[in-house]
Structure 1
Amino acid sequence: MRGVFITAALGLFLTVPAQAQDTRGLSMFALDPASTGNAILTVDGKAEVRRAPDLAISTIGVATTAASAQDAARDNAQKMARVIAELKAQGIAERDIQTSALSITPVMNTDYGNPYAMTLASNSLAETVAADAEAAMAGDAVADAAAAAALDEYAAPRIVGYQASNVLRVRQSDTDGYGALIDRVIAAGANSIGGPAFQIEDSSAIEEEVRLLAIADARRRAEIYAAAAGLRIKRIVAMDEGRISGLGTGYDYDYNMGFADMAVSLPALASTSVSPGELTITASVGVMFELEPL
């Protein structure tokens, strides 16, 4: 008698004659083999539950630019102090405010995406073009050469300032108040916002619930296959838990709400609207059943 495999979309039947178990390499049954004439069925049980998040995680940053690194850092520190004070005033605990990035980098005249560099470059180019036009009208070779040298200097890469950046990772349990909090910190000086990532802070009870539902789903599927084959479930041979997922949402930490040094006043902004919605928590489990004749 040979073992027979019958595949289906969600399961696998395998008849296992006692005398063939070891020779077919079925080591999983070596210690506890299936009875002669019985079948083995493997199914995946799946389940999901939906729950409202109770935690919002975001990044709130301040970027400032100045001619010197010291001035950029000083301005940044003053603005970030106001942002942190506003976070605490809105009920965010100190333990939920964490520095995630701190940097000071040079701004080059070729950083065309930086408004500070763009402004300096525009002014320099305007002065150079004006000097070149004046030299051309006067026919002054010396002035014309000076204008050309100025144009070359404008085109050559050079440091024109420094940008300081300080980014906080903020945890907020009041998910409904996330939009209002963002409005307040922008008014306090924040000009870089990332998030939110909505999560469930303590998910242990939900994980237990979805696991039980996944196991029940596996048994329901097994019963359907067994009944169709004229068999019934004898026992569970093995179980393999799949991945629990959906306990939080991700987001891009590098998302910028605005340019550095952008002046923002609270009355000028519409209120930020954020909808936490629900998270879908899923689980899967692989269960191997031994089936026997009715």
Structure 2
Amino acid sequence: MKIQKLAVILLLLGAPVFAVGANLPDAPHIVVSARGEVDAVPDMAQLRLQISETAKTSAPAKQSVDRRVQAVLDVAAKLGLAEEDITASQIRVFPDYQWRDGERTLLGQRVERRVDLTLRDLSRYGQLVDGLLAAGIDELGNVEFDLSRRDALLDRATERAIAEAKRQAELLAGGFGGRVKGVYHVQKMGVSAPRPERVMMAMDAKAGAAEMPVSFGTETLSVNLNAVFLLK
């Protein structure tokens, strides 16, 4: 009878967590909520470079863009970036206008090309930035610091949530003289996995990467779940 009373009390405490009609047994049981967390430091970076030039005609503008794009590709190759981690878009050419006092003035022809780089070894981040500076890139645009093993880290957080749910169930049951028979139902309530942090960076050609300290920070990935355990 003690176990049955325990099941009723814990069921009432856990009632707000489960919606009406949730999968709850008629037998004595315990409802617990648990959370598992994993802290991780980003280990990769994604850089989006917008390389552009405006000139009176498109030919010299394209030559300037082509030269800097090739320099970026050379830097990436020197650092050993894989081909799939380097993406260069098609060239865009369009008139570049300036608006002043409601009037439009043609400045020339603008040529743009975007290059995306994925760096999977952040220990070489400084070398990459210095190489881009030497290539004539003075603004990185969006830099995203991410986790290459995000799925595996979420699995680890799930394992910790499961272990915590079992610990709580055994502690509660044992405290009232009962024992856990086994799990009856598990409901994953939510996953918190912050997406990559975007950083806007402008670079000074007179200052190397060593003078531009960057903190990659720490991300916390978490998993929440509810579990129903049957009691003996």
TM-score (norm 2): 0.76
Q: Please give the per-residue CA displacement for 1:191-246, whole angstroms capped at 9, x wherever unaligned.
A: 33134322332345433322211101122333455456665433322112344443
> Within 2, Cα distance between the matches of 1:286 and 1:86?
50
- 1:275 is matched with 215
Q: Which has the larger radius of gyration?
A: 1
* C-alpha distance in 1 between matches for 2:59 and 2:208: 34
Change beyond 3 A, Cα 1:205–1:157: closer
For residue 183 of structure 1, report the CA deviation from its aligned partner.
Answer: 1.9
What is the Cα deviation at residue 45 of structure 1? 1.6
Q: CA RMSD in A?
A: 3.4
Quote the residue 2:227 is aligned against: 287
Which among 60, 63, 72 is matched to residue 61 of structure 2?
72
**CA, structure 1 residues 216+164, in 2 after alignment: closer, same or farther (shift >3 Å)?**
same
Q: Label 1:201 to 1:273 Cα distance change in 2 as closer, same or farther (>3 A).
A: same
Q: Aligned equivalents of 1:241 and 1:106: distance in 2? A: 53
More strand by percentage: 2
Aligned match for 1:34, one of 7, 10, 26? 26
| Residue 158 of structure 1 pairs with residue 158 of structure 2 | no
Q: In 1, Cα distance between the equivalents of 2:207 and 2:66?
A: 24
Q: Distance in 1 between matches of 2:208 and 2:66?
A: 27
Mapped partners of 1:283, 1:205: distance in 2: 13
Query: Residue 89 of structure 1: which of 78, 94, 104 is its match?
Result: 78
**Alpha-carbon distance between aligned partners in 2 of 1:232 and 1:250, rounded to the nearest angstrom:** 45
Name the amino acid aligned to 1:73: K
Query: Does the CA-based 8 Å contact 1:34-1:290 persist in structure 2?
Result: no
TM-score scaled by length of structure 1: 0.62
Match among 159, 169, 174 for residue 222 of structure 1: 169
Asked whether 1:182 is paired with 2:177, we answer no
Q: How many pairs are equivalent?
A: 221
Instruction: Give the secondary structure class of the aligned counterpart of 2:81.
Output: coil
Which residues of structure 2 form unaligned runs of 5+? Answer: 1-6
Pairing of 1:120-131 with structure 2 (within 5 A): none
Deviation string, structure 1 residues 228-283 (Cα, Å, up to 9, x no partner)? 6665433322112344443752316xx4627xxxxx64xx2143322334432322
Deviation at 1:94, TM superposition (A): 2.4
Q: Secondary structure at the match of 1:240?
A: strand
Flag the 1:101–1:275 CA change in 2: closer, same or farther, 3 A: farther
Q: Percent identity?
A: 23
SS of residue matched to 2:23: helix
Confirm whether residue 50 of structure 1 aligns to residue 39 of structure 2: yes
8 A contact 1:62–1:189 mirrored in 2:
no
Q: Distance in 2 between matches of 1:202 and 1:48?
A: 15
Q: Structure 2 CA distance, aligned partners of 1:276 and 1:27?
A: 42
Unaligned 5+ runs, structure 1: 15-24, 111-120, 122-153, 259-263
Q: Give the ranges of 4+ consecutive aligned residues of structure 1 lying more than 6 Å apart after TM superposition.
A: none
